[in-house]
Amino acid sequence: MKNFINIAVVGLGQVGIYLLNELNTKKKDIEIKTGKKINIVAISAKSKNKKRQFKINKKIFYKNPLEIFKHKKVDILFESIGLSDGISKKIVETALKKKVHVITPNKALISKHGNYLTKLAEKNKVNLEFEASVAGGIPILRSIKEGLITNKISKVYGILNGTSNYILSEMENSSEGFSEVLKKAQKLGYAEPGNPKLDLNGFDAFAKVRILSALAFNNKISKHKCLMEGIEKIELKDIKIADQLNLRIKLLGISELKNNQLFEAVHPCLVSKKSYIGNVNGVMNAVILEGKPVGQSILQGEGAGPGPTSSSLLSDLLSILRGNIKKPFGVSFSKLKSLKHYNVNNYVNSLYIRFEVKDKPGVLSQITNRLAKYKISVKRLIQTPDKKNNKATIVIITHKTSEINCNTCISKIKDNQNILKSPIVIRLLD
């Protein structure tokens, strides 16, 4: 690699503008650490004159990022627009074809088109780096690709969505409902003001799970949607009941090899307040990795925001400047496996099931009979009357049962006229 490196930054939102400032202020440090001089030759965003946190050099501004390649020789491109398709995909594709290294925090893009883009990068012998796409500032991808590389990993899981974790923590702290806390999160910049759906329905965490699986198990990025549930149905009531049981609700992303089949899931989970994961609160992210011979490894850090994201983007840059590994997923694409998918019907957990019922004789026995019919045995039961409204809340903690069993059982119970609304089911972590 030559000594003068030309860089383009495309997308100047919160992350892009912070990154640009870091690149400008850390040129000298980067030179000391890599021996390379970097030069920012082009920037691009929708609007040239929008008010931004840091000043931009308007002389190198391009409204259409694809124009950059016509006018400038670029060695490394940062893509921080953030779409899974459209211009994000187009610019990354074009760059790789032109033998330009690409660095991106875009998990939507990588989880959807990672296989195709990886092949393209390898064919053109350039890097495609995406450390910032999973768990913000936590160097988790590099740790799997390098620090823990020869371990046989059996499971990676953790808190991968800071927005959901903040909302769940804050509901517990403030005793406010989901929608009040969501508004607060939006005000603080922890949730998108327009459409926070992708954070809340599990989609964002699922994209990260897909990337983690590919790295941990040397597998192609899966296209199969195994199990994805968000936190939208969690009510303050569930958080309070969990609290009484010394439990806490966390949205977990899980990637695991079960009988050598790939199991990928995102769903809320009840975890012990005494457990490590039960104490990762607010916008923090945490990833737990189980491997042989290393045992259990934990990495925790800030999962989002321009600072942590830039930290990871720059680590990718320095890795490229030092001429380090080329393969986006550690091994060459042709050597990646295509693991079979684990049948989610066989996923087994203890369950928390909350029923809202009419307070009249026989209802409880109707429920427990139905559970017994499906061989779902009760570990714990708490019935709380609401005399005024002639209602009662029944919470049942079950022994382990399979998804298929639970789903069939619940679908039968639901039609019971004494049950006032769809039961809330939350899985318990082992």
Interface with a second copy, residue 294, by CB under 8 A: yes
Q: Residue 240 or 335: which CB sits closer to a second copy?
A: 335
Q: Residue 321 or 397: which CB sits closer to a second copy?
A: 321
Q: Is 208 a catalytic residue?
A: yes
Interface with a second copy, residue 324, by CB under 8 A: yes
Interface with a second copy, residue 330, by CB under 8 A: yes
Q: Residue 287 or 406: which CB sits closer to a second copy?
A: 287
Interface with a second copy, residue 319, by CB under 8 A: yes
Q: Residue 117 or 144: which CB sits closer to a second copy?
A: 144
Of 186, 279, 366, 416, the residue at the interface with a second copy (CB under 8 A) is 279
Closest approach of a second copy to the CB of residue 302, in Å: 4
According to DSSP, the β-strands at 391-398 and 295-302 are unpaired
Tell me, letter by letter, the H, E, C secondary structure of the chain. Answer: CCCEEEEEEECCCHHHHHHHHHHHHCHHHHHHHHCCEEEEEEEECCCCCCCCCCCCCHHHEECCHHHHHHHCCCCEEEECCCCCCHHHHHHHHHHHHCCCEEECCCHHHHHHHHHHHHHHHHHCCCCEECHHHCCCCCCHHHHHHHHCCCCEEEEEEEECCHHHHHHHHHHHHHCCCHHHHHHHHHHCCCCCCCCCHHHHCCHHHHHHHHHHHHHHCCECCCCCCCEECCCCCCCHHHHHHHHHCCEEEEEEEEEEEECCEEEEEEEEEEEECCCCHHHCCCCEEEEEEEEECCEEEEEEEECCCHHHHHHHHHHHHHHHHCCCCCCCCCCCHHHCECCCECCHHHCEECEEEEEEEECCCCHHHHHHHHHHHCCCCEEEEEEEEEHHHCEEEEEEEECCEEHHHHHHHHHHHCCCCCECCCCEEEEECC
Closest approach of a second copy to the CB of residue 229, in Å: 27
Closest CA to 238 of 157, 159, 167, 158: 167
Closest approach of a second copy to the CB of residue 149, in Å: 5
Closest approach of a second copy to the CB of residue 212, in Å: 15
Which of the ranges 179-187, 322-330, 349-357, 369-377 carries the binding residues for a second copy, by CB under 8 A? 322-330
Interface with a second copy, residue 147, by CB under 8 A: yes
What character string, x for contact with a second copy (CB under 8 A) and - otherwise, covers 371-410?
A: ----------------------------------------
Of 111, 302, 363, 395, the residue at the interface with a second copy (CB under 8 A) is 302
Interface with a second copy, residue 172, by CB under 8 A: no
Q: Residue 281 or 407: which CB sits closer to a second copy?
A: 281
Pairwise CA distance, residues 213 & 263, whole Å: 9
Token digits for 278?
């039960």
Pairwise CA distance, residues 423 & 384, whole Å: 15
Closest approach of a second copy to the CB of residue 110, in Å: 18
Q: Residue 177 or 323: which CB sits closer to a second copy?
A: 323
Interface with a second copy, residue 150, by CB under 8 A: yes
Interface with a second copy, residue 310, by CB under 8 A: yes
Interface with a second copy, residue 80, by CB under 8 A: no
36, 107, 208, 250: the active-site residue: 208
Interface with a second copy, residue 311, by CB under 8 A: yes
Which of the ranges 23-31, 52-60, 164-172, 419-427 carries the binding residues for a second copy, by CB under 8 A? 23-31
Q: Which residues are catalytic?
A: 208
Kindly list the residues in this chain that would bind a second copy in the complex (CB under 8 A): 18, 22, 26, 29-30, 32-33, 131, 137-139, 142-143, 146-151, 276, 279, 291-302, 305-308, 310-312, 314-315, 318-319, 322-325, 330-331, 335
